[in-house]
Structure 1
Amino acid sequence: MRPQIILADDHLMVAEGLGRLIGDVADLIAQVTDGRQLVDAVRRLQPDIVVSDITMPVLSGLDAMRELKAAGSRSRFIFLTVHTEPQVAAEALRAGASGYLLKAAAGEELFEAIRAVMAGRVYLTPHVTKDVLRAISQPEGKEASHLTQRQREVLQLIAQGKRMKAIAAELHISIRTVEDHKSQLLHTLDANSTADLIKLALKLGLVSE
Structure 2
Amino acid sequence: MKKPRLLLADDHRLVAEGLRGLLEPAYQLVGIVEDGRALLEAADRLVPDVVVADISMPLLNGIEAVRQLKKKNPELAVVFLTMHLDVAYAASAFEAGASGYVLKHSASSELLTAIDNALKGRTYITPMLAGELLNYQRNRPQGEQPDGLARLTARQREVLQLIAEGLSVKEAAAVLGISARTVEFHKYSMMESLGLKNSAELMRFAVEHAIK
TM tier relative to shorter chain: 0.7 to 0.9
| Equivalence for 1:65 | 66
Do the aligned partners of 2:36 and 2:65 also contact (CA within 8 Å) in 1? yes
Deviation at 1:29, TM superposition (A): 1.4
Higher helix share: 2
- The total of aligned residue pairs comes to 203
Rounded Cα–Cα distance in structure 1 between residues aligned with 2:156 and 2:174: 15
Say whether the 8 Å CA contact 2:151–2:194 is kept in structure 1.
no
Q: CA deviation at 1:191?
A: 4.5
**Structure 2 length-normalised TM:** 0.86
Instruction: Give 1:51 shift.
Output: 0.4
In structure 1, stretches of 5+ residues that fail to align are none
Find the counterpart in structure 2 of residue 89 from structure 1.
Answer: 90
**Do the aligned residues in 1 keep the contact of 2:11 with 2:57 (CA within 8 Å)?**
yes
Q: Is the 8 A contact 1:35 1:61 kept in 2?
A: yes
Alignment of 1:9 with 2:10, yes or no, is yes
1:197 aligns with 2:206: yes
What does residue 134 of structure 2 align with? 133
C-alpha distance in structure 1 between counterparts of 2:156 and 2:44, whole Å: 23
What letter corresponds to residue 188 of structure 1 in structure 2?
S
C-alpha deviations, 1:47-101, integer Å up to 9, x for none?
2210011121222222221112212342110000112221111011112110011
Match of 1:181 in 2: 186
1:18-29 mapped onto 2 (5 Å cutoff): 18-29=19-30
CA–CA separation in structure 1 for the residues paired with 2:145 and 2:163: 21
* % identical aligned pairs: 45
2:88 and 2:208 map into 1 onto residues whose CA distance is 14
Name the TM-score, length of structure 1 as normaliser: 0.87
Residue segments in structure 2 that go unaligned for 5+ positions in a row? none
